[in-house]
Amino acid sequence: MAENETGSDLLGQELKRLTFGWTDYTLFSGLLGISVLIGIYFGCFSKKQDNTTEYLLGGKTMSWFPVSMSLVASHVSAVSLLAVPVEVYQYGTQYAACIFTAVISCGLISIIYVPVFYQLQLTSTFEYLEMRFTRSVRTFASFLYTFSLIIYVPLIIYVPALAFSQATGINLHLITPVIGIVCIFYTTIGGLKAVVWADTVQMTVTLGSLFAVFILGTIAVGGFSETWRIAEEGSRIVFWNMDPSIFARNSFWGMAVGMTMTWMTGLGISQVSMQRFLSVPNLKEAYKAIAFMGVCLVAIKWISVLTGLIMYARYHKCDPISTHVISRSDQLLPYYVLDVAKHIPGLPGLFLAGLVSAGLSTMSAILNTVAGTMYEDFIDPWLPDTENKEARAANIMKLIVVVMGILCLSLVFLVAFLGDIFQLSLTLHGVTAGAMLGIFTLGMIVPWATSKGAIAGGLLSMGLMVWVIVGAQVNMALKRLVYPPLPTSTEECLNVKSNVNQTTIGTDPTPTNEDKPFALFAVSFMYYTLLGFLVVMVVGTIVSFLTGVPDLKDVDKNHFPPIIQRFLPPKKYTEVPLHSVPTALITNQEKEKLNS
């Protein structure tokens, strides 16, 4: 108890030394103000958002740069900005292998998914599933996607709001509505253009804060070479853990293969991403956006990795987690910023503005996407056709943004009472991610796949992943499945009692052979999406063969990427009597085809 009280006192003293001045509040409020002005401009003074193409795709006039920045912003949330440095601090730099993840993911997205979606020019990626399979497959996938995003939004709002509340002392429940209302406002009235340009501004702020914290921290610990030396001595430098076991918590293969599946789900088949890829005028611009997005993602992730090393170098002799200076590992990065930037006016505000920017970017992207998905897949089929259908659609989607935004804000208050929900939420994401990626990929690279195969594979994938993930969580709660972090030390801590001044490896006991969980429960969370994906591909293909495959000469080649189209047989020609077509309009080649 004394140990916890000492930690609480230290944290209280640390937070009191940081007082938000006018510079910090100006930076923070200025960011929110800019986002509002962007929404007002595109909603009131720019081209009217009176049709679905303009509201959802920005009129297809967006350039590749703001689109790529918006893609990065929607992918990099405050959760990931906080999680990656802590991952490195506790488990080493294996996450730096994300450079392979980015190259493989962007390559596969460019080859398989983008050509198909761009060729079909659909406002909803789920419309592809109806064209390729049936309406039931589309509805099944749309519901899962919408549900998963609605659950995710409260989490990404809660993290930056919690950090801001800690730094300023303002109640969390007062900050959250302000952030949410600003995002709902500019997303509602501005449409995709407002979201993309606001994302660009917010991403710039996020990158600025990351670089500022990185440079300041490097100087504080004595330079990069000293940071590297300390990290190497602490066994934090881990790049080539080639353990092929799927039970290893993280390895090179977990990042290069397992994480690639996760990124492809978020960037390849996601309505958020495809909506942006289709907002550029041609496919060449879309490829530029993908390439630049990959470079930015690697840069941001590597800065986060290096920030984790800097945090370890600063606290390698006095771990704030072991001493209970912070109550949970998610607070480590904000604590570190409060520590190194407390004497620099404006930097704490810049950092918090970056966290809030990441949350706003992801929330706005999701709200805009959910609006389009819900309207296209659940509302539009029930509405009668009218002359002002496009204007009505835009208004309905704006209403959806407001309703969904309010719903997500109300769920934030529930998240605040659920404890450490972030790691669990990322794990639960694997329930639908593998199934979603599998259904789309099955349709695009397996020409003989049928709707029965897609639904059977998707249902079995989700059922299996629910069983695996629930089983894993139960075994973690029973301490049968543990992932002890790398050693930390508290030997040079001040104002901390001697009983914690020691090197700690972890408090979780190592399970005995009798207590080891069932093999599937021990599969690393890095492979959850891959496991669900493989189930859909294998089961979907087998069920398709068992229920009767279609004639490949009847399939529409536009439903497949170019790498698959080249292997498809020529489409059947319908015989037309020669006398039914004027002879003058028939070429010699066409006559030969008809005669043959």
CB 401 within 8 A of CB 371: yes
Taking 90 as the threshold, does the pLDDT of residue 542 lie above it? yes
Q: Which residue has the higher pLDDT, 499 or 178?
A: 178
Q: Indicate if the pLDDT at residue 268 is higher than 90.
A: no
Cα 370-363-321 angle, rounded to 5 deg = 135
Residues 399, 389: Cα–Cα separation, whole Å:
15
Residue 222 zone, left/alpha/beta (φ > 0; ψ -120 to 50; rest): left
How do residues 582-595 score in pLDDT, each as one tens digit? 444 444 554 454 45
Confidence of residue 274 (pLDDT cuts 50, 70, 90): confident
Vertex 263: Cα angle to 467 and 108 (nearest 5): 115
Residue 101: CB atoms within 10 Å: 25
Q: Ramachandran region of residue 324, left (φ > 0), alpha (ψ -120 to 50) or beta?
A: left
Structure tokens at 455: 């639904």
The pLDDT, as a whole number, for residue 416 is 64
Element (H, E) at 503: strand 503-504
> b/e map of 523-560 (b: 16 or more CB within 10 Å)?
bbbbbbbbbbbbbbbebbbebbeeeeeeeeeebeeebb
Bridge partners, 489 (sequence order): 503
Distance (Å, rounded) from C-alpha 48 to C-alpha 97? 44
Q: How far apart are the C-alpha atoms of 497 and 5, rounded to whole Å?
A: 11
The answer to whether residues 281 and 124 touch, using CB atoms and an 8 Å cutoff, is no
| Terminal Cα-to-Cα distance of the chain (whole angstroms) | 90
Report the pLDDT value the prediction gives residue 563, as an integer from 0 to 100: 92
Amino acid at 212: A
Low-confidence winner among 11-25, 93-107, 267-281, 509-523 (lowest mean pLDDT): 11-25
Q: Which helix (H) or strand (E) holds 489?
A: strand 488-489
The pLDDT tens digits for 426-484 are 676 888 889 999 999 999 999 999 999 999 999 999 999 999 988 988 888 888 888 88
